[in-house]
Amino acid sequence: MLDLHGFGDQLLQGASITIQLALCSLAVGLVLGLLGASAKLSNIKPLQWIANFYTTIIRGVPELLTVLIIYFGATTVLMSIASVFGYEEYIEIGPFAAGVTALGLTFGAYATEVFRGALQAIPKGQHEAAIVLGMSSQRKFFRIILPQVWRVALPGIGNLFLVLLKDTALVSVVGLEDIMRKANVAVSNTKEPFLFYLVAAFMYLALTIVSMAVVHFLEKRASRGLSRG
């Protein structure tokens, strides 16, 4: 059958790194997306400008370039910030942290648009009902609005996660030991590029299928309170 020359375990370790990177970036991106959407819908002009600037820039620049800028630029930026506070040691940001930052920023920019649409799709009556019941605005947001936003936004967020999952491969360019990197190492040792890149491709495909199933399950769960018309 398939002879991986003992690199199977390595590839599985890479898959674990890929999954960790994807989930961490997802968490960062969801928070950024909610903040971005709230900023875009707020009445405060400067907040709107910042959010628009953020989504325009990030969505217009290649993801690979974002990863490279963060990886090579973050060290300089962080050290100059630290030197303001009198810290002069060398700071280095690893590929994992750079990857989470870059992919989180990218995911957040696209998620901003998804959440904005979802927030606008919540009927005004829901807000009014919560206020009438005497809820504070914080409680209203977490108890009434967010669960409904979640249901409306899920299909869009699910698509974005599939894109994110594939974008994790880019972080191998700056040296993260993910599936791609492990496949590269296996290729340089065995001289069988087609085999190992195809195996890598099918590992990503498997992750995609699993994610699709999870999204489908979550969508079903999120809309359990709704009758099927």
Partner 1 sequence: MELDFSVVIEYFPRLLTGTWMTIKLVLLSIVLGALVALPIALARISKNWLISGVPFAFIFFFRGTPLLVQIFLVYYGASQFEAVRESFMWPILREPFWCAIIAFTLNTSAYTAEIFRGAIQAIPEGEVEACKVIGMTKAQMYRRILLPRAFGIVLPAYGNEIILMLKASALASTITLLDLTGMARTIIARTYTPIEIFLAAGGIYLVISILVIYIFRQVEKRQNRYLGTLSIKVPDKG
Contact residues toward partner 1 (CB under 8 A) are 56-57, 60-65, 68-69, 72-73, 76-77, 79-80, 155-156, 159-160, 162-163, 166-170, 172-173, 180, 183, 187, 191-195, 197-198, 200-202, 204-205, 208-209
Question: Min. distance of Cβ 124 from partner 1 in angstroms?
Answer: 23
Q: In the structure encoding, which two tokens stand for residue 192, read together?
A: 């069988």
Nearest to 108 by CA among 22, 23, 28, 29: 29
Q: In angstroms, rounded to a whole number, what is the distance separating the alpha carbons of residues 171 and 181? A: 9
Question: Min. distance of Cβ 142 from partner 1 in angstroms?
Answer: 27
Question: Min. distance of Cβ 229 from partner 1 in angstroms?
Answer: 20
> Helix 193-222 crosses helix 146-167 at what angle (to 10 degrees)?
180
Nearer Cβ to partner 1 (130/165): 165
Q: In angstroms, rounded to a whole number, what is the distance separating the alpha carbons of residues 39 and 11? A: 41
Nearer Cβ to partner 1 (131/209): 209
Question: Min. distance of Cβ 146 from partner 1 in angstroms?
Answer: 21
Q: In angstroms, rounded to a whole number, what is the distance separating the alpha carbons of residues 99 and 180? A: 14
Alpha-carbon dihedral 40, 42, 44, 46, rounded to 10 degrees? -20
Nearer Cβ to partner 1 (79/122): 79
Question: Min. distance of Cβ 76 from partner 1 in angstroms?
Answer: 6
> What's the start-to-end Cα distance of the chain, in Å?
50
Nearer Cβ to partner 1 (86/134): 86
Nearer Cβ to partner 1 (30/130): 30
